[in-house]
Homo-oligomer: A and B are copies of this chain.
Amino acid sequence: MFVFRRPIRFCEIDAARLVFFARFFDYCHEALEALFAEFPGGYPRMVQERDLGIPTVRLQADFRAPLRYGDVARFELHVLRIGTTSVTVKYEVKRDADDLLVATITHVIVLASFSSLRPRSIPDDLRALFAQHLVAGHSATLRPGLT
């Protein structure tokens, strides 16, 4: 499990005084950027020097409780599946102060050429990084035929 904590910013609140639902997906991307920060240069270097991007191909989200200004969102990131070119990530989003479950998000990204958007096989170092957070019962090697 990779944990990413994100204080809610003043301008991310909507007219209902709640975090606007679309902002959660900004945070998902930030969580991935934080995960990639374990590599030198992080995601910017992946993009600029290795021409690697991670376009989103599928999202599913269930919202259980709202977040407000002053809250810290805690994204608990698990990898559900590592395919040939795609990775399925699950986030359990909790309110950090009291562990209230706020949302559950499943996010499928594809490793792709940043410039051409063509899918690419997941490089070994990235595969290893994702594998560190693979949940039990899911495997990178069990379903090699699926991408």
| A contact residues vs B (CB 8 Å cutoff) | 9-11, 13-18, 20-23, 25-26, 28-30, 33, 41, 43-45, 47-48, 53, 55-63, 66, 69-70, 114, 117
A29: contacting residue among B22, B29, B41, B63, CB under 8 A: B22
Q: A13-B14, A20-B11 are in contact. Are A58 and B55 (CB under 8 A)?
A: no
* Contact indicator B14/A33 (Cβ below 8 Å): no
Name the CB-closest residue of B to A30: B9
List of B residues within 8 angstroms of A44 by Cβ: 69-70
Q: Which residues of B contact A43 (CB under 8 A)?
A: 10
21 contacts between A and B (CB under 8 A): A10-B15, A10-B20, A10-B43, A11-B22, A15-B17, A15-B47, A16-B47, A16-B55, A21-B29, A21-B55, A22-B22, A22-B26, A47-B69, A47-B70, A57-B62, A57-B63, A58-B61, A58-B62, A58-B63, A59-B59, A59-B60
